[in-house]
Structure 1
């Protein structure tokens, strides 16, 4: 089994709902600017770890998303320690599936042929000093 591991630095942008516009009587669908920008960042980062050939077999994807400490946690050393040790988890929005979706879309065509190849997904949101996403791909 092959494995690729890398880190996407910076805040993880949740995939936003698609936007719609009308042009010449046709409806056009597009990503919000924040989603497009984040996907491009993921693509640039993932391209440094791209295999010679795009993955076209079953993929096991592990994603750990590090979220910022909230102000109520920062006020207490005890709560900060609990958050950084994993005892306390980030349970506020954005939803984990929206965070992972932008990462998967950004890796499509760079690491794998299509995100439908992901047959096992393990995702976790945790608190961290630095916002980032740690990715492990097994195929």
Structure 2
């Protein structure tokens, strides 16, 4: 298993049109976010071949604790489940898109994914990638 630690505040995927990605601030921010993930992944995967075949991916999204929360709430937040926006599927999409051709050939190789969002004092993304070794055999009969 390979583990990547990306020190960035997780961001959900943004809808973009062809021209919009060059002018809309949110789209530009999202493209920079994906570029940062690529950069950090390349640094950590130096010398590693791309994963081929089926892979399983585990992702831990460490979400920032809102500054507006009361002190007592901030104190108990680390490790608690994050259940507000961004949606977890949008978070996964950004990571998968960024890791195409960096960690694996294409995200269609991912046959199993586990993702969790928690509050953390230090936002970031931890990605575990492992080649699937079990082979499913169709039972005859």
CA RMSD, Structure 1 to Structure 2 (Å): 1.9
Instruction: Report how far residue 62 of structure 1 moved.
Output: 0.5
2:35 pairs with 1:43: no
Q: Note the alpha carbon deviations across 1:87-132, whole angstroms, 9 max, x for none.
A: xx22111101111111111110011000000111100000000110
Superposed counterparts of 1:1-139, under 5 Å: 3-21=1-19, 30=21, 32-50=27-45, 52-71=48-67, 73=69, 75-77=70-72, 79-86=73-80, 89-139=81-131
Give the gaps of 5 or more residues in structure 1. 22-28
Instruction: Provide the C-alpha distance between the structure 2 equivalents of 1:33 and 1:13, rounded to a whole number of angstroms.
Output: 12
Q: Find the aligned partners of 2:48 and 2:104 in 1 and give their Cα distance.
A: 11
Residue 24 of structure 1 corresponds to: none
**Which structure has the highest strand share of the two?**
1
The number of residue pairs the alignment matches comes to 126
Over 3 Å counting, the alpha-carbon distance change for 1:65 and 1:85 in structure 2 is closer
Question: What is the TM-score of this pair, normalised by structure 1?
Answer: 0.81
Q: What SS is found at the alignment partner of 1:100? A: helix
Local SS of the residue matching 2:128: strand
